Structure 1
Amino acid sequence: MFLNNHSYYSLRYGTMAENELLELAQAQGCSVFPLTDINNTSGCLNFIRRANEYSITPVVGIDFRNNAQQCYVCLAINNQGFLELNNFLSKHLHANQQFPDVAPKFQNVITIYPLKKVFAIEKYTFAKNECIGVSLQDINKLQFSKFKQYKDNLVVLHTVSFRHKRDFNIHRLLRAIDNNTLLSKLPKLQQGSIEHSIVSTSEIEKKFQDYPHILKNTTEVLERCSIQFDFSNTKKSQNLATLYESKALDFEKLVALCNEGLPKRYDVVTKTIKQRLQKELSLIKLQNYVSFFLINWKIIQYAKSKGYYYVGRGSGANSIVAYLLEITDVDPIELDLYFERFMNLYRTTPPDFDIDFSTWDREDVTRFIFETFGSEGQVALLGAYVTFQYKGAVRELGKVFGLPKYEIDKLCSGKFNYKQLDELSSLVLRYANYLQGRPNYISIHAAGILISEQPIHYFSATHMPPKGFPTVQFDMHIAEDVGLYKFDILGQRGLGKIKDAIAIIEKNSPEITLPNIHNAKPFFIDKQINDMIARAECIGCFYVESPAMRMLLKKLGVRDYLTLVAASSIIRPGVAKSGMMREYILRHKNPERRKKAHPVLWDIMPDTYGVMVYQEDVIKVAHHYAGLDLGEADVLRRGMSGKYRSREEFLAVKEKFISNCREKGEQDAVIFEVWRQIESFAGYAFAKGHSASYAVESYQSLFLKCYYPLEYMVATVNNGGGFYRTELYFHEAKKLGGIIHPPCINKSHVDTIIEGVNIYLGFQHLQGFEKRNMIHVLRSRAEKKFTSLNDFIERVPMSIEQLDILIRVNAFRSLGKDKRTLLWEAYYKYNHLAVDELQPQLFKVGTKEFVLPEFTITDLENAFDQLELLNFTLYNVFSLLETPPTNRCLVADLKAFKNKVITIYGYLVTAKNTSTHKGDRMHFGTFLDQDGQWLDTVHFPPVAKRYPFKGKGVYRITGKVVEEFGFLTIEVIKQERMGYVSDPRFDMTYNRKAFPKLNRSVSVKKIPEEEPRG
């Protein structure tokens, strides 16, 4: 009896999850029940998947509405009908068009026009698949209507959006949020009616007792509809099945590509390599993943043809086939990588590759995928649901209820006494709890792309977000459920650094022939690179530059590829939290310590001294130590990575793990310690192949930094830096011999450039300097360099405020005049000449030179200008202190003061906030000493509370020097942020002399007027 039912995927309208809707239907004794969300199909597949649990035959459709006004409700008779509906909805969503009053002549769809709509559009002809929907409230209207005669077309159309009054209240709040209006001003036309609540089937039958034919028609409509998707564990992949016309040809191509890759990747093709390749090819063919590999290969071929740098990572790096196809650069034979971690007969979740491109190249690769594989609408970006979070819901509801900002801020902070809140504030908090976790809007998955065999609209409608690519209306979990397995195409700044560094080197030094960056093996054995890693001189390099990684590299004394692979994983929070990181360091540095390893664990993981470090270690331990089969072991692996749905499934495997170990005679203390280590991974451990991929990219970055340090640091800056602020990368370049210059009108570009050892900051670093003016400067300079301020003003029209930025950062220094003189001239000229930024001057304007006093500009004034305009200074920050440092204690001196209390000065780089196991806040600090060397500090909870960080600046730190595994840190006892000197630019005497814009009364009448020259 129910033909129009909404879940909360009727975004900012509906109130129930799919399962709640099914529970409602089951309670009413329904055997067939539709889901018809408003202009959305997000819930359809999961509704179909879950319906069997409630003994309900699912029907899906769409409630088409313009704004909140209903046009018609459409039900898919079958899968082809669902495709038709998705095509129609997507077309209008992409174009942001309203739906027509009359629906298209669908072939496999039942279209139901509400009686009110039929009256409004005066529709009098109806096809076989078109109905007139009569609501409970419209029965009396029908009795006196000419539409009463359409007996075969009349059906019951009772909308179900709510269960009770609370749902209706939530609905009204959602509508107010969606319309960005106060609840009290929400128009009636923008909301549903409380009458759209669930009613019993007996009540419907009673209301329509005089119209049995309507009840009969309604039942027949539902019986005509049937839709099928396979959600079983044995479902077929719905991805694009073939690239070369048949599966046989695809497999031949894959084998041929592997054979081509063997001599490129291996100098000697051993029996082990051949056996591994044959094993993988057999399993890939058996699992129907041949096209999956070929699609990834084709994407990589395109990237290589365009000169794009990439990294294939994730568990896909465990595959020799991926290595031979150059999808990854990790040799699984060298690292003894476990292919079953990527693909096995027992794995219930799909394998995938994570392929990183630079941020700039990723969009073009995405476009290539759509054009190459999506000619028939088979490609879409994967969607993601953005849900209401508690604080966000409080803020939205506070606005809806009309609370003032300070009151909303107080509620968001949680710093209030609940008993003292007024009624409105209490309502905000109560309904924020109801909204929490509900979908708010559909976004885009960070990386996922779907490439299906069928048109993507077979599964879902698509919308068109700002990225400009069609995006499905469901997330990765639903995609996996139905057999659509994503391709992950990610953006990563580290690859942009590599690409740009190589481009800079090739441009500035064309005589240099760089090695193939994708063949990283020679870098692994390069002594200079490994010595640099051991010294932790890795600033700017992918994944190994953070303070924690720098500490770990020094503690381990990393100077080879395999140890760096391990370090890339043990730095992860799960490994560190479990104590396995410390144990690994102890065993790495002390062979005697390795004897404490459990014999079975040592046999399973000799390369990591019997310590679990990687995700596949869990599979190995579960399989070999606890006797679980590979399928059960993979449940543990998925459980620890957070990619499982059923916590019960995970707990069942835990029980079997423990019971199996007890049966083998293991002691409970050992069993529970091993289990604790497994559980502590908690989604943070890497697959070994993933760590190896990161280590490869790290070595590629390290090679460039080792041999071309300045070019690499410029590329780092131009790609948005990395872990640290931009100024730290300029500091690093200075340490490496670079001479850093502020922006220059005759040298600089938008990006930072390098000439020899001279590095010129790009205009992009100027705070508030507009992009269009950067472009104006570069276009004009391309004709010839600027020779004077007047020449610049005539050729590059811009406001005095924008010109002021350039002058004060000393960008005109190449003209031979100090910036204070230039400011006088600029403000005088702009006071006497109207400058139109969009209109170049028709006539050149000459000016007579005039004499100004000789100005003195101090480094201190320049430093403060840079702080304002660049957000950092190229001068020594310690020279800005109001009270100079009382000592010259440096990081180089710390070893002599081990276990002693010292006072040292440090410029704050970054501070990491964390919590102890008791929940108390503590910090790890990173500073630069007076010589620019790295200083590391630990702030335990009492100190962290008493002496908090107070932002950027120089701190006077008193603490105890401690050493662990050769790494020196300071356990802080107290710290204080040192004050800077007063800004000399705001001294009034200075202002009157230096800045005419701050002293409009200055007279310059004696300066001759300008005369136009033809």
Structure 2
Amino acid sequence: MIDLTKYSLPAGKNGKTLIPQIRPPLPRQKGGVEFDIYDYEMLFSDPGTKELIREGKTIGCFYIESPGMRSLLRRLSCDTFEMLTAASSVIRPGVAESGMMQEFIARHKDPKRRKYLVPEIEKYLGETYGVMIYQEDVIKVAHHIAGLTLEEADLLRRAMSGKMRSHKAMEKVKEKFFASCKERGLGKYESNELWRQIESFAGYAFCKAHSASFALLSFQVAYLKVHYPAEFMAGVLSNGGGYYSSAVYIQEAKRMGLRVLLPSVNRSTYEYHGFDKVIRIGLMAVKMLSKKTAQKIVREREKNGVYQNLHDFLERTQTGYEETAVLIKCGAMDCFGKTRPTLMRLLDVYFRHRELINPENVDLFAGEISELEKKVETKTQYSINEICAIEYETFGYMVSRHPLNFFERYIERNDILKAKDMPKMDGKRVKMIGWFMTSKRIKTKKGEIMKFLSLEDLTGTFEAVLFPKVYSHVADLTMSMGPYLLQGIVDMENGFNLVVEKLAVLSAKEINVSLEKDSSENQYFGDVEKITEEEFALVDSLDKEKIRTAYLG
């Protein structure tokens, strides 16, 4: 067990914990329920938080939202601080490359697998089933098992961490390690295997305190997602997101049962705002609106009250034509009770006759303004296609519809499996439809290129795994947002995975395709997408028999 007292936060002169205040703290009470994010006993025992982490529903949560991490949480049934601390380091590429991530998972699930290379290891690594996952574990093994002094063991750790630049010094440490193992009576196999594990992962492993600090913050934000869903997701969006784009977080909010409201000049703050089960998009999301103008709109409203109509808005803020037009088209002025085409007509009139919006003429032209509004009134509305196109252009995502709503004739077919139903079809060949969330390309141990597509449908998210053979035939198709029509084998052992056999884009005419080109050739590796270290671990984690079945049928 981990002693939580070792991870206490620093205290100030008055003995109180020092917490860097980045944003105003959440209220201590909500609905009469006591709330203290630093009450660790409450935090680590909260049923909702434990369930969220255990099921990998952690999109938006610090460090544990990536596809690889969410899959790991599910595979470990992780719902304790201790296990989350371990998972935070296990996901690092060094542990994975040594093969010990898979071994850790297997030993966690099956106590019979908890065998120790050297019996004495259980005394020092029993908490992690004999698997080295922290930097301190290198010191423990090197000192207690191999027989190095603590100074030599730490020298080895630093050498593996890349903090020693001298190759000669590294060779000297290696020689000392094997000589010491021999003196302790360790066999050649045991010595070589210990060295292999240390050498392969130490440069990327976390120290335990680092993992614990990450796990603590992950637990805290998971708690907020469970108990303050609207406020939390609004904060994630205001912060510019994390691993995913804002579009992914908007859809995640909807899957959580939250209502997402369009920005409003009379309701929005500059940032996204969450309350009850609602998220109001902030004016910051309007791409063509300057920060200066957005903040001016909010300040003027807070000082002198809500805007009564378009004329009142223009008179008080003196916002320019282009920025006002953007606000009208995206729905931020729907609060005035007129159709958007009507407001655009009025805007044209006001800017042709600027004297109408001069604050000094407010009484002089009152009657004329009223008459103008009646003359330009139209009941015509933008079509849903136009509205969604404007939203996508303005915010970078759609609010009124999900892109897949425009492909209902496909997604409602009986032969299309929904993401939420994947557990029922484990190991079976299915067809699925997904919209792009994010993607990663990696190089296998053989030097071939493969790709992971993180996709979503209207019910959930899943990972499409494209091994080199398949990827080489469809690489050029994987640069669009989709929607993708996929056929493959469901692999629930490693998360909500679909091992892809075939891939097609439903309609190139109805989607925006990136101008970038993708290729499965090595020389193109990494030129389009960033690569995270943890994804390397996923290549060898899939069941080989399922892979063979996926290719050969």
TM bucket (normalised to shorter chain) is 0.7 to 0.9
Q: How far off is 1:526 after superposition?
A: 2.3
What's the counterpart of residue 569 of structure 1? 89
More deviation, 766-775/525-534 = 525-534
Label 1:893 to 1:514 Cα distance change in 2 as closer, same or farther (>3 A). Answer: closer
- Answering whether residue 437 of structure 2 is matched by residue 909 of structure 1, we say yes
- Answering whether residue 241 of structure 2 is matched by residue 715 of structure 1, we say no
Q: Pick the aligned partner of 1:891 from 412, 419, 436.
A: 419
What's the counterpart of residue 855 of structure 1? 380
Q: Pick the aligned partner of 1:868 from 385, 393, 396.
A: 393
Asked if structure 1 preserves the Cα contact closer than 8 Å seen for 2:54 and 2:79, the reply is yes
Q: How far off is 1:577 after superposition?
A: 0.9
Label 1:567 to 1:973 Cα distance change in 2 as closer, same or farther (>3 A). Answer: same
Q: Pick the aligned partner of 1:558 from 70, 74, 78.
A: 78
What's the counterpart of residue 256 of structure 2? 736
What's the counterpart of residue 472 of structure 2? 945
What's the counterpart of residue 921 of structure 1? 449
Label 1:959 to 1:630 Cα distance change in 2 as closer, same or farther (>3 A). Answer: same
What's the counterpart of residue 518 of structure 2? none
What's the counterpart of residue 316 of structure 2? 795
In the aligned structure 2, how far is the partner of 1:961 from the partner of 1:939? Answer: 13
Q: Tell me the amino acid that sits aligned with residue 403 of structure 2.
A: V
Q: Tell me the amino acid that sits aligned with residue 557 of structure 1.
A: S
User: In structure 2, the residue corresponding to 1:605 is in which secondary structure?
Assistant: helix
Q: Tell me the amino acid that sits aligned with residue 106 of structure 2.
A: L
**Greater RCO, CA 8 A, separation 6+:** 2
Q: Tell me the amino acid that sits aligned with residue 558 of structure 1.
A: C
In the aligned structure 2, how far is the partner of 1:980 from the partner of 1:878? Answer: 14
In the aligned structure 2, how far is the partner of 1:567 from the partner of 1:749? Answer: 38
Q: Deviations over 1:854-884 (max 9, x none)?
A: 2033222211110110010011211234974
Asked if structure 2 preserves the Cα contact closer than 8 Å seen for 1:614 and 1:685, the reply is yes
In the aligned structure 1, how far is the partner of 2:510 from the partner of 2:424? Answer: 36
In the aligned structure 2, how far is the partner of 1:506 from the partner of 1:868? Answer: 39
In the aligned structure 2, how far is the partner of 1:656 from the partner of 1:802? Answer: 69
Q: Tell me the amino acid that sits aligned with residue 487 of structure 2.
A: T
Q: Deviations over 1:571-594 (max 9, x none)?
A: 001111111100000111011111
Segments of 5+ residues of structure 1 without an aligned counterpart are 1-264, 267-272, 274-292, 306-323, 328-355, 362-495, 984-1014
In the aligned structure 2, how far is the partner of 1:675 from the partner of 1:326? Answer: 41
Q: Deviations over 1:443-488 (max 9, x none)?
A: xxxxxxxxxxxxxxxxxxxxxxxxxxxxxxxxxxxxxxxxxxxxxx
What's the counterpart of residue 826 of structure 1? 347
TM-score by length of 1: 0.46
Q: Deviations over 1:138-169 (max 9, x none)?
A: xxxxxxxxxxxxxxxxxxxxxxxxxxxxxxxx
Label 1:814 to 1:980 Cα distance change in 2 as closer, same or farther (>3 A). Answer: farther
User: In structure 1, the residue corresponding to 2:359 is in which secondary structure?
Assistant: coil
Q: How far off is 1:968 after superposition?
A: 3.7
Q: Deviations over 1:624-661 (max 9, x none)?
A: 11110011100111112222232322221111111221
In the aligned structure 1, how far is the partner of 2:32 from the partner of 2:47? Answer: 24
Asked if structure 1 preserves the Cα contact closer than 8 Å seen for 2:52 and 2:226, the reply is yes
Equivalent positions of 1:644-663 (< 5 A) are 644-663=164-183
In the aligned structure 1, how far is the partner of 2:191 from the partner of 2:80? Answer: 33
In the aligned structure 2, how far is the partner of 1:594 from the partner of 1:771? Answer: 57
* Bigger fraction of residues in helix: 2
Q: How far off is 1:974 after superposition?
A: 2.2
Answer with 1 or 2: which has the greater Rg. Answer: 1
Asked if structure 2 preserves the Cα contact closer than 8 Å seen for 1:882 and 1:979, the reply is no
In the aligned structure 2, how far is the partner of 1:622 from the partner of 1:962? Answer: 38
In the aligned structure 2, how far is the partner of 1:734 from the partner of 1:891? Answer: 15
In the aligned structure 2, how far is the partner of 1:773 from the partner of 1:598? Answer: 67
Label 1:510 to 1:532 Cα distance change in 2 as closer, same or farther (>3 A). Answer: closer
User: In structure 1, the residue corresponding to 2:163 is in which secondary structure?
Assistant: coil
In the aligned structure 2, how far is the partner of 1:761 from the partner of 1:864? Answer: 17
Label 1:689 to 1:624 Cα distance change in 2 as closer, same or farther (>3 A). Answer: same
Label 1:927 to 1:612 Cα distance change in 2 as closer, same or farther (>3 A). Answer: same
Q: How far off is 1:981 after superposition?
A: 6.3
Q: How far off is 1:969 after superposition?
A: 1.2
Label 1:982 to 1:670 Cα distance change in 2 as closer, same or farther (>3 A). Answer: closer
Label 1:865 to 1:668 Cα distance change in 2 as closer, same or farther (>3 A). Answer: same
What's the counterpart of residue 51 of structure 2? 531
In the aligned structure 1, how far is the partner of 2:180 from the partner of 2:341? Answer: 81
Label 1:511 to 1:968 Cα distance change in 2 as closer, same or farther (>3 A). Answer: closer
Q: How far off is 1:807 after superposition?
A: 0.4
Q: Tell me the amino acid that sits aligned with residue 397 of structure 2.
A: F
Q: Tell me the amino acid that sits aligned with residue 109 of structure 2.
A: K
Q: Tell me the amino acid that sits aligned with residue 312 of structure 2.
A: D
Asked if structure 2 preserves the Cα contact closer than 8 Å seen for 1:950 and 1:977, the reply is no
In the aligned structure 1, how far is the partner of 2:101 from the partner of 2:278? Answer: 42
User: In structure 2, the residue corresponding to 1:301 is in which secondary structure?
Assistant: coil
In the aligned structure 2, how far is the partner of 1:671 from the partner of 1:929? Answer: 50
In the aligned structure 2, how far is the partner of 1:758 from the partner of 1:705? Answer: 13
Q: Pick the aligned partner of 2:145 from 604, 612, 625.
A: 625
Q: How far off is 1:775 after superposition?
A: 2.0
Label 1:972 to 1:685 Cα distance change in 2 as closer, same or farther (>3 A). Answer: same
What's the counterpart of residue 111 of structure 1? none
What's the counterpart of residue 525 of structure 2? none
Q: Tell me the amino acid that sits aligned with residue 708 of structure 1.
A: Y
In the aligned structure 2, how far is the partner of 1:935 from the partner of 1:536? Answer: 12
What's the counterpart of residue 963 of structure 1? 492
What's the counterpart of residue 804 of structure 1? 325
Q: Tell me the amino acid that sits aligned with residue 825 of structure 1.
A: L
Equivalent positions of 1:11-26 (< 5 A) are none
Q: How far off is 1:525 after superposition?
A: 2.2
Asked if structure 1 preserves the Cα contact closer than 8 Å seen for 2:233 and 2:274, the reply is no
Asked if structure 1 preserves the Cα contact closer than 8 Å seen for 2:350 and 2:356, the reply is no
In the aligned structure 2, how far is the partner of 1:743 from the partner of 1:903? Answer: 37
Q: How far off is 1:713 after superposition?
A: 1.3
Asked if structure 2 preserves the Cα contact closer than 8 Å seen for 1:905 and 1:930, the reply is no
Equivalent positions of 1:126-275 (< 5 A) are none
In the aligned structure 2, how far is the partner of 1:737 from the partner of 1:586? Answer: 35
Asked if structure 2 preserves the Cα contact closer than 8 Å seen for 1:798 and 1:835, the reply is no
User: In structure 1, the residue corresponding to 2:433 is in which secondary structure?
Assistant: strand
Q: Deviations over 1:322-352 (max 9, x none)?
A: xx9857xxxxxxxxxxxxxxxxxxxxxxxxx
Q: How far off is 1:828 after superposition?
A: 2.3
Aligned residues: CA RMSD = 2.6
Q: How far off is 1:982 after superposition?
A: 5.5
Asked if structure 2 preserves the Cα contact closer than 8 Å seen for 1:799 and 1:835, the reply is no
User: In structure 1, the residue corresponding to 2:130 is in which secondary structure?
Assistant: coil
Seq. identity, %: 34
Q: Tell me the amino acid that sits aligned with residue 533 of structure 1.
A: I
What's the counterpart of residue 771 of structure 1? 291
Asked if structure 2 preserves the Cα contact closer than 8 Å seen for 1:882 and 1:980, the reply is no
Q: How far off is 1:895 after superposition?
A: 2.9
In the aligned structure 1, how far is the partner of 2:256 from the partner of 2:224? Answer: 13
- Answering whether residue 203 of structure 2 is matched by residue 683 of structure 1, we say yes
Q: How far off is 1:614 after superposition?
A: 0.5
In the aligned structure 2, how far is the partner of 1:506 from the partner of 1:781? Answer: 29
Asked if structure 1 preserves the Cα contact closer than 8 Å seen for 2:270 and 2:284, the reply is yes
Q: How far off is 1:551 after superposition?
A: 0.2
In the aligned structure 1, how far is the partner of 2:468 from the partner of 2:182? Answer: 41
Label 1:833 to 1:981 Cα distance change in 2 as closer, same or farther (>3 A). Answer: farther
Q: Deviations over 1:580-635 (max 9, x none)?
A: 10000011101111135431322220001111010000000000111100111001
Q: Pick the aligned partner of 1:635 from 138, 152, 155.
A: 155
Q: Tell me the amino acid that sits aligned with residue 728 of structure 1.
A: V
In the aligned structure 2, how far is the partner of 1:514 from the partner of 1:720? Answer: 26
User: In structure 1, the residue corresponding to 2:120 is in which secondary structure?
Assistant: helix
What's the counterpart of residue 880 of structure 1? 406
Segments of 5+ residues of structure 2 without an aligned counterpart are 512-553
What's the counterpart of residue 320 of structure 1? none
